[in-house]
Structure 1
Amino acid sequence: MRRPALLLPAVAAAVLLTACGSEHAGTQSPGAGSGGPTSPSPVDQPAVDGVRITSVTIPSGSRSTSPSAAASASASTSPAETGGGVRAERLPDGLPADPGVSAAYEVVNSTAGALTYTVIFGFTTSTGGAVSNQKVTVRSVGAGRTVTGTVRLGTLAPGAPPVTRVKVAEVTRVPAAEAPSEPGVCPPSGIRITADDGDSAMGLRVVGLLLENCGTEVRTLDGYPRLSLLDDDLQPVRGVEVMKGSGGIATVAGFDDPPRAVTLKPGERASAGLMWRNTTGFGEAVDVPYVRVLATAGAAPVTVTPHLDLGTTGKLGVSPWRRTAEQTGVPGS
């Protein structure tokens, strides 16, 4: 697994793909204003955790979205570097447009079990400057199977520089049966678990675990979520103390509340928190890309990817489940 540099994307787009066997997974639909037809240019890039870009398409008529961007894109880039040239044209009053940039990719599962892949593709300038990230989820790729698909850059914000390169910036992969369900789909367990993007300040990290009773039965949570910390190979991480409450890491509201049973009717939600510091002192820093979560004892496991950069602290605090104010009101959705 590789993590990308932090980037505020010009477009936040996710493609949810279901894969079985060696087949075409899907393509993001093109937007209006694409450039003229251009044949895909093959790309020879090494695979990142089984994901590889096979070709890049950059239309010769790719357009910028403002006079300043048009000026910066006026010089064509080398086809050897980008898979095609880029020519800028001015759009009326800076209206956004889809420049038509896309990349074909393949996902190869060489493991012994079905995996769900989440891939972040980075669209960059010729010098490597980040322009946009696109996230693609490829679900249930069977053992020994290959899935192909296409990811598009999409519409850029006014003034964005021209994109000439595409790379695999990050890959996470979890057992297909443990992958968080896609939005709007309730898993067979009737409990949907996800992790938020987290928050950080002065080395303190906090990530929220979000649980929704999307089924039709009443569910009761009995205290704290059960956690297993996993490495890049989905094997247990040793040497980290998982503490109930803050464990003295920091004073954060709710972390040291006493645990209590939380009963959720269909459509109701609960949350818990993970807290740590990324301080690095003597010893080897520990990174935990995956966390397997059990809502209660005996519940179906869900593996999330909060990327815990624990440094050398060796500690992770966990708050108890508590009811959240926001409810869906749509059981089974």
Structure 2
Amino acid sequence: AENLRLAVEGGDAGMGHRLTTLALRNIGADACTVTGYPSVSLLDDEGKLLTSVRAVQAPGNYFAQGRAPTPVEIRPQQAAWFDLAWTVIPHEDKGETTCPSAKTVRVTAPGATTAIALPLAFTPCGGQVEVSPLRPVLDGSAQPASVAAN
């Protein structure tokens, strides 16, 4: 998993919900297999852990039906994808008037020990981001991960 790189591959927005799709791309010479949910933490503009927002495992979100975790083989120069989903409307009923500002997302692949950081500025409300399981396709209509990437 030390030969993985993290990149933004897409996103969506609607009705106060946001989604960013991230890719874990294999830049090594050998295939690796990952299963399940990546560990995700958010950092503020000083590089400190944003403790007011927790990452929760969620098989589905506002934009996609639930997906069960399955093993994903990531061949060299190919990727596995997952989504981060959050809301952008403060939960005023819980005393939230502004939402915390994340500047970096830090991801650890399942079974890995090394985190990968990626600059990603966003303001998740409600104290959580939802993390989907890794999958072998960008989205339901995309090409499978076994097809050569651009």
Fold agreement, TM-score > 0.5: yes
189 and 253 in structure 1: CA distance in 2 versus 1, 3 angstrom threshold:
same
Cα deviation digits, residues 164-213 of structure 1 (max 9, x gap): xxxxxxxxxxxxxxxxxxxxxxxx93222112353212211000111222
Cα deviation digits, residues 23-56 of structure 1 (max 9, x gap): xxxxxxxxxxxxxxxxxxxxxxxxxxxxxxxxxx
Counterpart contact for 1:229–1:237, Cα < 8 Å: yes
Counterpart contact for 1:197–1:306, Cα < 8 Å: no
1:245 to partner: Cα distance:
0.8
Counterpart contact for 2:41–2:54, Cα < 8 Å: no
Alignment-derived partner of residue 21 in structure 1: none
1:243 to partner: Cα distance:
1.2
1:244 to partner: Cα distance:
0.6
Alignment-derived partner of residue 315 in structure 1: 128
205 and 260 in structure 1: CA distance in 2 versus 1, 3 angstrom threshold:
same
Matched, 1:216 2:26: no
Aligned partner letter, 1:236: L
Aligned partner letter, 2:64: A
Alignment of 1:85-96 (within 5 A): none
Counterpart contact for 1:246–1:275, Cα < 8 Å: no
201 and 252 in structure 1: CA distance in 2 versus 1, 3 angstrom threshold:
closer
Counterpart contact for 2:59–2:133, Cα < 8 Å: no
329 and 231 in structure 1: CA distance in 2 versus 1, 3 angstrom threshold:
closer
Cα deviation digits, residues 202-237 of structure 1 (max 9, x gap): 211000111222211120112111111111111111
Which structure ranks higher in relative contact order (CA pairs < 8 Å, sequence separation ≥ 6)? 2
Structure 2: unaligned runs, 5 residues or longer: 138-143
Alignment-derived partner of residue 301 in structure 1: 115
Counterpart among 78, 83, 88 of residue 268 in structure 1: 78
Counterpart among 49, 68, 79 of residue 236 in structure 1: 49
Counterpart contact for 1:289–1:308, Cα < 8 Å: yes
Counterpart contact for 2:34–2:111, Cα < 8 Å: no
Alignment-derived partner of residue 155 in structure 1: none
Say how many residue pairs are matched. 139
Alignment of 1:12-27 (within 5 A): none
Q: In 2, distance between residues paired with 1:322 and 1:219?
A: 13
246 and 298 in structure 1: CA distance in 2 versus 1, 3 angstrom threshold:
closer
TM-score, with structure 2 as normaliser: 0.79
Q: In 2, distance between residues paired with 1:197 and 1:222?
A: 22
Q: In 1, distance between residues paired with 2:55 and 2:3?
A: 27
Alignment-derived partner of residue 4 in structure 2: 191
Counterpart contact for 1:226–1:297, Cα < 8 Å: no
316 and 220 in structure 1: CA distance in 2 versus 1, 3 angstrom threshold:
same
1:300 to partner: Cα distance:
2.8
Alignment-derived partner of residue 328 in structure 1: 148
Alignment-derived partner of residue 17 in structure 2: 204
Residue 314 of structure 1 aligns to a residue in which SS? strand
Q: In 2, distance between residues paired with 1:196 and 1:265?
A: 18
Alignment of 1:283-294 (within 5 A): 283=96, 284-294=98-108
Alignment-derived partner of residue 175 in structure 1: none
Aligned partner letter, 1:237: L
Residue 101 of structure 2 aligns to a residue in which SS? strand
